[in-house]
Structure 1
Amino acid sequence: MAKISPPPPFPAVSTCPSDNRESHTVVADLDGTLLCGRSSFPYFALVAFEAGGVLRLLLLVLLSPLAAALYHFVSEPAGIRVLIFASVAGVRISTVEAVARAVLPKFYLSDLHPESWRVFSSCGRRWVLTANPRIMVEAFLKEYLGAEMVVGTELADFRGRATGMVRRPGVLVGEKKAAALKSALGSGSPPEIGLGDRRSDFPFMNLCKEAYVVLPDPEVKAVSRERLPKPVVFHDGRLVQKPTPLLALLIVLWFPFAFFLACLRAAAAALLPIKHQIRVHRLLGVRISVKGAAPWRPAGKPGVLFVCSHRTLLDPLIVSLALRRHVATVTYSLSRLSELLSPIKNVRLARDRGKDAATIKSLLEEGDVAVCPEGTTCREPFLLRFSALFAELTDEIVPVALESRTSLFHGTTARGWKGMDPFFFCMNPSPAYEVTFLSKLPPELTCGGGGGRASHEVANCVQRMIAESLGYECTSFTRKDKYMALAGNDGSVPKKTRSKLAS
């Protein structure tokens, strides 16, 4: 006869009223409570990969069975200590902070529990007690969920690097959570609401006037994108999906084959005639689809300026493949590796408006040019502010809507080495690009040609055309906005790290 589990000593969170709670304090656990998922492994895996690379992720995968055995059969703190050691031992604390701000919020928000968030968001004061390292969760909880106080496990460090150990009182589980709450309360009155999901949360929940348990439900759906408390516009990191233990294992096993495949795809782009490359790349698993008709450059005429939305560093190359002819491109930040391997002409700009305009004009005299005037990439369905420089240079302007899709690795980064961006895109099993050539800008909408439009009006017009084609939203965000958002502009990230991200 099957053993019947006793019912929890607290009512379900779905029964908790959320009206008129503005003056109340709520204290909640994180994994399994505010988040649908009860396991913190995916977030440790993200930190391990982003801060330490694939070998660090391999170590975490190898030690995860030990962590699970200790967690379930010995104690929760023992299992969590193994995950912490495998993920951050030897890593700079500033690097963990940067990952926590730029990478983790996207994944945390995609797992927000609807009932817990309903109650948590209704209260005026929001506190979180978690066994996770505070440094991993604090930026997300305060910036996106409006938490006033976050108490978690504190990492031990030596000369700015995590040792893999934790500071006293240790991993925040069970009675230690209750002790932390008592310390935070001091002589104040107890919180009105306590939210938890497992037996080790009961001690701190007993200190609250009301307590509700979040029952395990594999069918529960996270809060939809439209109902999120704050949208994630900018985020970083290489991994596309939340790395469950199985997916993390697959990433580790795929990585060496993926790098070889990326080199093969790069060799094909550099060595084969451009008119045959779409077919060859399709055989190698890269899907490139083309929509719309691009204008042909008549002999003796200046080139066409293809103005593209910015997805990856490969954008100009993909436009060349779609046109079946070489086009030049310009960039502000061209790595030596990209310059060496690029099969198309790639010219570095000087960040001087007059010099840059002259450079692009000379390239247009030689042939077609593809530019990405957003200046930087955004992974969410938003277009950043376009530069108006290109609009002053020619009236032969063709907007190009680019969309890329990957399954394992993002082909863009703000924190990592930009020269590896094309390789990470090509390391996906079957990456895809969709190229849509829109109608050429009519003369009346250009700066010259009888239109007499201001350059910023032309830029805004092109941006709207591309956004409508992709179903994206236009924003006024700039490159500086992106890097400040990822680095943190409130002083919570060390100055050295902010300078590295903004460079």
Structure 2
Amino acid sequence: MSGNKISTLQALVFFLYRFFILRRWCHRNPKQKFQKCPSHGLHQAQDLSNHTLIFNVEGTLLKSNSLFPYFMVVAFEAGGVIRSLFLFVLYPFISLMSYEMGLKTMVLLSFFGVKKESFRAGKAVLPKYFLEDVGLEMFQVLKRGGKRVGVSDLPQVMIDVFLRDYLEIEVVVGRDMKMVGGYYLGIMEDKKKHEFAFDKVVQEERLSSGRLIGITSFNSPSHRSLFSQICQEIYFVRNSDKKSWRTLPRDQYPKPLIFHDGRLAIKPTPLNTFVLFMWAPFATALAAARLVFGLNLPYSLANPFLAFSGIHLTLTVKDLITSDRKKGCLFVCNHRTLLDPLYISYALRKKNIKAVTYSLSRLSELLAPIKTVRLTRDRVKDGEAMERLLSQGDLVVCPEGTTCREPYLLRFSPLFSEVCDVIVPVAIDSHVTFFYGTTASGLKAFDPIFFLLNPFPSYTVQLLDPVSGSTSSTCPDPDNRKAKFDVANHVQHEIGNALGFECTNLTRRDKYLILAGNNGVVKKK
């Protein structure tokens, strides 16, 4: 009897020893298949150029742990206000779900019924928000790797362009979306298929690289187990590490962000989204009042009213030309919104000023308080039209041909330099808080409305020193064909220097090919 008691006690002690002591010792065994290290050890690594870095996008590259803003962007831009409101209302319940279930729910709400061909948020809208959330410290580590493999639980269509084009990540493994008849069902492929695609990519990398280093979040057990099967080393990133990271500066983007689309100018976090929806009723009434009174009141009353409503207009004027010339004055400005000529008119307090545009909606043309004339993109006809308008008074032209939101100037068309002897460059900048007043793929008729929906939009107008045109007698070589390009480039650089913007050779066609998939030419009906 006593022997049985002793054997039972020995068995219990041996079991506890095996379960706790040996298991703990095996967990610390340095001869295991991979090594687990904190993320700061990766910053101290000497040479990573011969290694392949496999990293989890959401857990290690992005500073924020919340994926809600990116799905809100998709819901708003691809689905509209009702879909985004539905996602916002359900978000408190989504936050109570598990990570995988919450992710699937947001994908369903954002993508269900969206046409694949018309979905351009992943290419034209989301890269801006992702870039603004990249951690500088982790990006510097990834730059040192010989090859980078980004692994994400997000749909491939959301992250592919951001990682490949803007961060120059060689391999991107996201999750595919199920479709029927060219429309997204809002359902991602099974996670096992996602892991199978990841394993296939890793096997290819293993053949071309001798060492695979994994970087994942400390709070992501699924990626931890997945990486442990194929990586020789795994580095973990904690939330406390990410809080101390700095945001990747714009001047360190591998590819500069020059063009982006979408109406939202603010990152739609849960709090910002709540503010947007609360502001919407007041914004509608305020925009209507700004539109009605701004168009119908005389300038002496319209300017004070617009300032009282929250619109800030700053004017910097140098000595204007007051000579009694037969022609009017040609104001050449960069293009920020459709309201550029109107704000020049407000700044100068001139009602008889005219503007030429390359494309303008019928609604905007009807509402414009100043005369607008469409250009045909025929150099001879457009030149004659501009000379005719100049003989009637002052004229505003935006030679970029399209708007640009970022601090860059597109190439200036030289046509304006051939129609007037004296040119006044005008440097324009605008700032908004909630909504952009421009779009490449949306309805342009609503551009001024969205600008007026902002609580405190601002405009800055700077009139610079006059410049001689290519046909002027003061031009060094008016007969030289290159003179018009020299004048156009000079005006571009003068405006760029005044604003602190970078001059580029990009054109309207480049912008629309990137953002809308077309060449930006409006077909005549």
Q: TM-score, normalised by structure 1?
A: 0.89
Do the aligned residues in 2 keep the contact of 1:14 with 1:115 (CA within 8 Å)?
no
Does 2:518 match 1:499? yes
Worse overlay, 16-25 or 210-219: 16-25
Give the SS at the match of 2:118: helix
Partner of 1:493: none
Structure 2 matches for 1:87-486, cutoff 5 A?
87-96=110-119, 98-169=120-191, 177=195, 179-186=196-203, 188=206, 192-197=212-217, 198-200=219-221, 201-207=223-229, 208-217=231-240, 218-293=243-318, 295=320, 301-326=326-351, 327-441=353-467, 443=468, 446-451=470-475, 452-453=477-478, 454-486=483-515
Q: Residue 11 of structure 1: which of 37, 62, 78 is its match? A: 37
Show structure 1 runs of 4+ deviating over 6 A. none
Deviations 1:21-70 (Å, cap 9, x if unpaired)?
Answer: 22321111111311111111111111111111222210110111111100
Match of 2:471, as an amino acid? Answer: C
Give the SS at the match of 1:157: strand
Give the SS at the match of 2:169: coil
Q: Distance in 2 between matches of 1:346 and 1:502?
A: 18
Partner of 1:35: 62
Match of 1:437, as an amino acid? Answer: L
Q: Distance in 1 between matches of 2:46 and 2:164?
A: 23
Deviation at 1:296, TM superposition (A): 5.8
Q: Runs of 5+ in structure 1 lacking a partner?
A: 1-6, 488-497
Do the aligned residues in 1 keep the contact of 2:330 with 2:394 (CA within 8 Å)?
yes
Deviation at 1:134, TM superposition (A): 1.1
Output the aligned Cα RMSD.
2.2
What count of residue pairs does the alignment treat as equivalent? 475
Shift of the 440–285 alpha-carbon distance from structure 1 to 2, 3 Å rule, reads same
Deviation at 1:141, TM superposition (A): 0.9
Q: Distance in 2 between matches of 1:223 and 1:122?
A: 16
Shift of the 264–66 alpha-carbon distance from structure 1 to 2, 3 Å rule, reads same
Partner of 2:31: none
Do the aligned residues in 1 keep the contact of 2:513 with 2:519 (CA within 8 Å)?
no
Deviation at 1:297, TM superposition (A): 5.5
Deviation at 1:502, TM superposition (A): 6.4
Q: Percent identity?
A: 40
Give the SS at the match of 2:514: helix
Shift of the 499–439 alpha-carbon distance from structure 1 to 2, 3 Å rule, reads closer
Q: Runs of 5+ in structure 2 lacking a partner?
A: 1-26, 29-34
Do the aligned residues in 1 keep the contact of 2:335 with 2:401 (CA within 8 Å)?
yes
Q: Distance in 1 between matches of 2:303 and 2:128?
A: 33
Do the aligned residues in 1 keep the contact of 2:38 with 2:235 (CA within 8 Å)?
yes
Match of 1:31, as an amino acid? Answer: E
Do the aligned residues in 2 keep the contact of 1:238 with 1:412 (CA within 8 Å)?
yes
Q: TM-score, normalised by structure 2?
A: 0.86
Do the aligned residues in 2 keep the contact of 1:400 with 1:438 (CA within 8 Å)?
yes
Partner of 1:80: 103
